Structure 1
């Protein structure tokens, strides 16, 4: 199949912006379901597929994992600080899992994090 060369070619079938992207047609922002993985077993394919709707860079995740391993090995107090946009992204599920399972001893965020969590509970966020 021929790959589109530009945006115009890629979206030639759309007659208006409304047809191109709508809230209903866009994928919903959602991270990996750690609770399901804990109950049913880890599924690498599902984990990797979750990156398409997470909205976070994998290199940051890998670096954070390595730092956390060192902190756990040294029994350091773990502070988890995050900006409000982490709640509206798919990283929300990871933060909720870490908090629920006491993987961090201290959580630090702005009031915006709480606000975005409430907003996300009312209506899902979408990519785009």
Structure 2
């Protein structure tokens, strides 16, 4: 099993445990808040669980894209492309995902399971680009 597969399995297990879900229902494209109905207390628990299970420091603000709207507002005010601002703030996200976030952000919380996986993989030094 590759490191990405290990990280994916761990994160799916964490989400299934904390949110009391069947892990088979969780895919990388699943929205954490929109689809899984995670609430802020759940996000806190998920961050702590990732930290412990994957033995890595976790920055909840980065993991859950909490400052995304502030980053985009600063970019708009400065005349910076939103994609560039998000890439600087969230280096674990690839350009395709950032473009998707920019177009999807008005629909609701944008964090997907794949973003959690990308964050953990980046922290583990095993990005999948």
Q: TM over 0.5: same fold?
A: no
Q: Which has the higher helix share?
A: 2
Q: Which has the higher strand share?
A: 1
Structure of greater Rg: 1
